[in-house]
Amino acid sequence: MNKLKSLTFLICLFPFYSNAQQNCDTYIKENNKLKASVKALTQEKDFLNQKLELFNILNSAKEYAVKPFSDDINVQIISCKGDKSQQTVKLEIILSHNLPHQEMCVNIGDKDASAVDELGNTFPAKEGIIGMKSTTYGYICTNVPTDVPTKSYVTFRNILPGTDKLKFITVKYGYRNADGGMEWKTGFLEIRNINIKW
């Protein structure tokens, strides 16, 4: 009789066990589907973030216009940052070329580098840097190898933090073959309508 009760009890439990196993399998399948959906959504989010970053770069590039100082030299504007405490604005530039090694100079004399704001105020350059060399007046040069990007900075002084944009920046650059045999070529880098990031 005890065996019959045990067997009856097991027979009664079997549908519950079977149903529980079936529910567990269903939950595992649903969980796997959700994991796949999360993975797909994460990949889509990463893709959209990359597109947004590219859009922001292209959009910000349209805010200002650049006229290089030479067709031989590639010029890329990296930033235009203001320092409120110093009342200065630093322009960060990357220069590169496909010529034989060049000696490049930045000139920041009175007639060689200046910035103009939206009200027509003119600001002189305070410092010029090219590569690892800097000057507070006149010119400074450094060797720039072929296909090697080189940073250049020009800092303008007496700019109040309320100034949001520079309407016109001009900086004189020069270059020649680093091993000689070529006369200096000079020109003015011109930038128009660039926002200042304070």
Residues 160 and 114 in one domain: yes
The string of pLDDT tens digits covering residues 143-190 is: 999 999 999 999 999 999 999 999 999 999 999 998 877 789 999 999
**Chain-centroid distance, C-alpha 196:** 15
- Do residue 31 and residue 97 come from a single domain? no
The reply to whether 106 and 181 lie within a common domain is yes
Tokens 């959700």 found at: 34
Could you tell me the pLDDT band of residue 21, with boundaries at 50, 70 and 90? low
Are 130 and 141 contacting, i.e. CB atoms less than 8 angstroms apart? yes
Residue at which a domain ends, from 46, 62, 78 = 62
Residues 73 and 153 in one domain: yes
Domain match, 146 and 77 both: yes
Domains in the chain, number: 2
On whether both 51 and 73 belong to a single domain, the answer is no
Return the CATH number at 97: 2.60.40.1230
- Both 105 and 11 in a single domain? no
Bigger pLDDT: 10 vs 178: 178
Helix (H, G, I), strand (E, B) or coil at 50: helix
Same-domain pairing of 56 and 95: no
Is residue 105 located within the same domain as residue 138?
A: yes
The answer to whether residues 107 and 173 belong to one domain is yes
- Does 16 score more than 60 pLDDT? no
Q: Measured between alpha carbons, how far apart are the two ends of the chain, in Å?
A: 90
Q: What are the structure tokens assigned to 154, written together?
A: 């020009």
Separation CA 105–CA 96 (nearest Å): 13
Residue 129 has what pLDDT? 96
Domain range for 5 is 1-62
Beta strands 122-130; 113-117: pairing state: antiparallel
